[in-house]
Amino acid sequence: MTLQAIVPDIAAKPDKPALPLPDGRVELLGLTRGEIAEALIAAGEAEKGAKMRANQLWHWIYHRGQRDFSQMTTLAKDLRERLAQRFHIGRPLAARDLQSSDGTRKWLLRFADGEEAESVHIPEEDRGALCVSSQVGCTLTCRFCHTGTMKLVRNLNAAEIVGQVMLARDALGEWPSPPDGRMLSNIVMMGMGEPLYNFDHVAKALKIVMDGEGIAISKRRITLSTAGVVPMIERCGAELGVNLAISLHAVRDDIRDVIVPLNRKYPIKDLLAACANYPGLSNARRITFEYVMLKGVNDTPADARELVRLLKGIPAKVNLIPFNAWPDAPYECSSDKAIRDFSEIVFNAGYSSPVRTPRGRDIMAACGQLKSASVKRSKADILREQAAKETALAQAQAAGLSA
């Protein structure tokens, strides 16, 4: 294998539409309708009617969850055969599938290049949310987050993001897209990675997810969480119109600089100004401010009062997250009383302030506990590993010869 093939190319390749698989077939998942039509024409299908066929394929892929072209009975038989030869409708591989005692389910997903990320399904009584990853690893290094201890390996592309939703739907048996009563009713972009650092792929994937003739999860049921990439916030609102959640976690820059280092680039004042301008806000559509409760760091009544002051004028709700521990984490969760007192101050100021019940802690699926074994390796690392392997091989051979 060449170095080129081993080192993932973060910026360029994944977003090229109609990327051929190693066997030459083109992956349809993650393409827009227009791109599907183009791919059909590029594969030699007639231009006339390509748009209609793309729409038919869309229906089979995203409304029915069908992956087998031979079962697409609204298409002519010979067309189905040609499609099967040239195209593919994939899913990430579920390398591990863990179920928590509380019903939460976590999949470790392996993508075509072997990199891994996680997604988590959190069922409620009559609905459920899927927590979707946007990157393998993360660049943000938030001090309390387990994913933050991984380096960014690469962005996920639209197929890999939408593939997480498809896989969960497969597992829940929710094909064709049920109009109501779904156990996958909501999407939260709160898995591994910072979605606003991978906006183009996330936006493309979410537009597919929101399409009414396919997966059909409306923007009102999708929440994108960001640690505060200020310049992308407006675009997110204007282009996607999804609910916004902000990982605020501190009310003073000196503390936030440490626990969410992105704050050094985009301080609290700028972040809140971007929030106040988020398109489409109203009392019925509020921004969620996530606040992880860290003992002795950000959890005093004075912090709560300062939070209330900062949020003035922004249609907001607050979500208090008890800190979820992970091996060697440098923090502890605040006491129940500190969390209750904090919540009460925020609530009495007129904001809803529920405490998020941790879900899936036993399988390390709760907020901030996601981490895969994918590690970013530099070319130098890879060369060093190769050299070490070669040396070991040479030594083994030499030992064999002399023995």
**Residues assigned a catalytic role:** 118, 367
The smaller minimum CB distance to ligand SAH, of residues 187 and 292, is found at 292
What character string, x for contact with ligand SAH (CB under 6 A) and - otherwise, covers 126-145?
----------------x-xx
SS3 127: coil
Q: List the one residue from 130, 190, 205, 271 that touches ligand SAH (CB under 6 A).
A: 190
Of residues 121, 198, 367, 371, which one binds ligand SAH by CB under 6 A? Answer: 367
Site mask, ligand SAH, residues 301-340, x = CB under 6 A? --------------------x-xx----------------
Question: Where in 197-236 is the site for ligand SAH (CB under 6 A)?
Answer: 225-227
Residue 176: asked if its preceding bond is cis (omega within 30°), the reply is yes
Q: Shortest CA distance to 198 belongs to which of 135, 262, 126, 271?
A: 135
Nearer to ligand SAH, 157 or 319 (CB): 319
In the complex, the smallest distance separating the C-beta of residue 194 from ligand SAH, rounded to whole angstroms, is 4
Cβ atoms of 187 and 207 closer than 8 Å: no
Question: Binding ligand SAH by CB under 6 A: which of 368, 371, 372, 374?
Answer: 368
Q: What is the number of residues in the chain?
A: 403
Closest CB 244 distance from ligand SAH, rounded Å = 10
Report the side by side order of strands in the sheet with 93-99.
Answer: 93-99, 105-110, 116-123, 128-131, 186-189, 222-226, 243-247, 287-293, 316-322
Write out the binding residues for ligand SAH, residues 252-291 only, by CB under 6 A.
Answer: 290
| Rounded Cα gap, residues 219 and 288, in angstroms | 15
Strands (DSSP E) contained in 249-377 are 287-293, 316-322
Scan residues 237-256 and list those touching ligand SAH (CB under 6 A): 247
Residue 274 one-letter amino acid: A
Using a 10 angstrom Cβ sphere, with 0-12 exposed, 13-18 middle and 19 or more buried, the burial of residue 373 is exposed
- Give the gyration radius of the chain's Cα atoms: 23
- Name the residue whose CB lies closest to ligand SAH: 368
Which residues in this chain contact ligand SAH in the complex, by CB under 6 A? 142, 144-145, 190, 194, 225-227, 247, 290, 292, 321, 323-324, 367-368
